[in-house]
Amino acid sequence: MRRVILITALLGLIGIAACSLLWPRGMVIRGPMLGSMLGRGVGAPTELVVRDRFRTLPGLRVDLFAEGIENARFMRFSPGGDLVVSQPRSGQLRLVLGDRDGDGRSDGHRVLLDGLDRPHGFDFREGHLYIGEGSAIARIAYSEKGPDSLAVEGEVIRIVEGIPQGGNHWSHSLRFGADGGMYIHVGSSCNVCEEEDARRAAILRYEPDGSGEEIYAYGLRNSVGFDWRPGTNEFYATDNGRDLLGDDDPPCELNRIERGAFYGWPYANGDRRPDPDFGEGHEGRIATSTPPVHPFRAHNAPLGMTFIRSADAPEAIRGAALVALHGSWNRSRLDGYKVVSLHWDEAGQIAERDFLTGFEIEEDVIGRPVDVAEGPDGSIYVSDDYAGAIYRVRIGKDARGNVERRLRPPPGATQPAADPLASLDPEERARLVARGETLFEDNACTSCHRTDPVETGSALKPLDALTSRFDIDSLVTFFQTPTPPMPVVHLPRAERRALATYLLERYP
């Protein structure tokens, strides 16, 4: 029987509380968490803001490469050099066109594949595109005949089904390893617990045809990003540490992945330190667990990682791994919100350095990096699910300028949104609002989304300004693909529609 922490700090009913976000009343929440978890974030920054805010290495420049890609998550270049990005909430993979006109930006983007179930990680192999969906691995043939020509062919086939889904960590990253195996990550269902399904909090391995399922490594709470180091084929993965232990504990991790190894979760954090809630009685397992090879700061949320393989890459990052730090949501002071480079010395020690900063400055957040991809042109591409954008870092004259740093305008500067409920018949609107209010109360949503005024010093805020980010359909879709740690809302679509209507009426 799964043992879940039952303390007053935790907002319970993990399995059934459709709207519970799993943090205690009054817990510090900083950064774009409420907006990110309950909205679409912000739009992409202007060229001027990019020049003013973003910083990278000398000799490199940062450009806004593409925008208007809502919930932009993982990226991969096709063998022919086309860039593809996943959009889990819309169920799409999107082709991002190259910069053929030389203006420094993508020439646009279009849907490559639609109708998928929460696609996240994906990879190309021998004429097929493999996709990690919500509970399956999908495969479809593709062709390409030149730049921007990538197209899928035939029908989508689910070669693996029944992968654990839902809970706090529902996304599945996928890529092929140096051994030809297909690897997929399955995050934990919770903040910290003992899982009923051994395939959760693990990295699974399959043959390319979907056969031979194997729990390759386990005790990994949420290893969203992974890659193989060139020259050694050592397998490395990021991992997100648990919450509710304070600002600086536990660290997030980089782990060297070995077949059959156990990495500590939920019994240990960091370098074999017993977890205060689950460590007792598991001293033997903790002692034999594999510690991380590098710690990231607590709550930095390392996601995608990519080793730089090009011999023409700038010397400062040649052979290094670039890691996207999505940024903290539960520290009293924001941390992360940048891309860092990891460098191995001859003794195997790892040094961490800033590569791309500016997503957060003085508590003002304009983006959250998710994934990093190395393009065939040697440029580095960074996806941002908060701004719906992709940035490109390339060799070139520094175009930042010497003007005063500009922050985003306050919310009051925006125009009020149109009423997303205006198309509803008044009687239907009233019925949906009433039903939605009941669902909101019955599913413990109020334990996290408070309706009372905010006390001084508390960062939990009432819901507000939802109509500037959502209409009914997009909020219904969001309930199925929420930003962690909010779990998936397991309600029928009609009930989700009623809940969405109530929220848009009550918190416009």
- DSSP readout, 66-129? EE--TT---EEE-TTS-EEEEEGGGTEEEEEP---SSSSS---EEEEE-S-SS---EEEETTEE
Look at residue 247 and tell me if it is in a domain.
Answer: no
Task: Give percent of the chain with pLDDT exceeding 90.
Answer: 63
Note whether 239 and 289 are within 8 A (CB): no
CB atoms under 10 Å from CB of 3, counted, come to 11
Instruction: Provide the angle, in degrees to the nearest 10, between the axes of the packed helices 493-506 and 472-480.
Output: 120
Question: Does residue 429 have a pLDDT over 90?
Answer: no
| Locus of tokens 């960590």 | 169
499 and 446 belong to one structural domain: yes
Confidence at 412, pLDDT banded by 50, 70, 90? very low
427 is in which domain, residue-wise?
A: 7-29+419-508
* Reported pTM: 0.77
Confidence at 457, pLDDT banded by 50, 70, 90? very low
pLDDT in tens, 486-495: 666 768 878 8
Task: Give percent of the chain with pLDDT exceeding 70.
Answer: 81
* Ramachandran angles phi, psi of 467, nearest 5°: -70, -15
pLDDT at 311: 85
Q: How many domains does the chain have?
A: 2
Lowest average pLDDT, out of 42-51, 375-384, 399-408, goes to 399-408
* Ramachandran angles phi, psi of 15, nearest 5°: -75, -30
The last residue of a domain, from among 382, 407, 432: 407
Cα 503 from Cα 476, distance rounded (Å): 11
Cα 52 from Cα 465, distance rounded (Å): 28
pLDDT in tens, 470-485: 788 777 777 767 765 5
Q: What is 425-458 written as a DSSP string?
A: -HHHHHHHHHHHHHHHHHTTGGGTS--SPPPTT-
349 and 430 belong to one structural domain: no
* Ramachandran angles phi, psi of 291, nearest 5°: -80, 160
Structure token digits, residue 7: 């303390």
Note whether 160 and 210 are within 8 A (CB): yes
384 and 428 belong to one structural domain: no
Cα 200 from Cα 192, distance rounded (Å): 12
Look at residue 472 and tell me if it is in a domain.
Answer: yes
The last residue of a domain, from among 347, 372, 407: 407
Confidence at 169, pLDDT banded by 50, 70, 90? very high
Lowest average pLDDT, out of 80-84, 139-143, 317-321, 414-418, goes to 414-418
Look at residue 343 and tell me if it is in a domain.
Answer: yes
SS3 422: coil
pLDDT in tens, 110-152: 999 999 999 999 999 999 999 999 999 999 999 999 999 999 9
387 and 437 belong to one structural domain: no
456 and 497 belong to one structural domain: yes
498 and 427 belong to one structural domain: yes
445 and 385 belong to one structural domain: no
Give Cα 216 distance to the centre of its chain: 22
Look at residue 318 and tell me if it is in a domain.
Answer: yes
Cα 109 from Cα 377, distance rounded (Å): 19
459 and 435 belong to one structural domain: yes
The last residue of a domain, from among 407, 428, 449: 407
Structure token digits, residue 399: 């175009």
470 and 387 belong to one structural domain: no
CB atoms under 10 Å from CB of 446, counted, come to 14
Look at residue 266 and tell me if it is in a domain.
Answer: no
Look at residue 391 and tell me if it is in a domain.
Answer: yes
Confidence at 250, pLDDT banded by 50, 70, 90? very high
336 and 433 belong to one structural domain: no
Instruction: Sort residue 170 into left (φ over 0), alpha (ψ -120 to 50) or beta.
Output: alpha
Lowest average pLDDT, out of 123-137, 214-228, 394-408, goes to 394-408
CB atoms under 10 Å from CB of 86, counted, come to 33
Look at residue 177 and tell me if it is in a domain.
Answer: no
401 and 428 belong to one structural domain: no
- CA atoms 155, 159, 163, 168: torsion sign: negative
374 and 326 belong to one structural domain: yes
Peptide bond before residue 302 is cis, with ω within 30 degrees of 0 = no
Structure token digits, residue 130: 């493999």
* Ramachandran angles phi, psi of 113, nearest 5°: -150, 130
Question: Does residue 162 have a pLDDT over 80?
Answer: yes
Look at residue 200 and tell me if it is in a domain.
Answer: no
pLDDT at 13: 35
Q: From start to end of 375-494, where are the E strands?
A: 380-384, 389-395
Give Cα 286 distance to the centre of its chain: 28
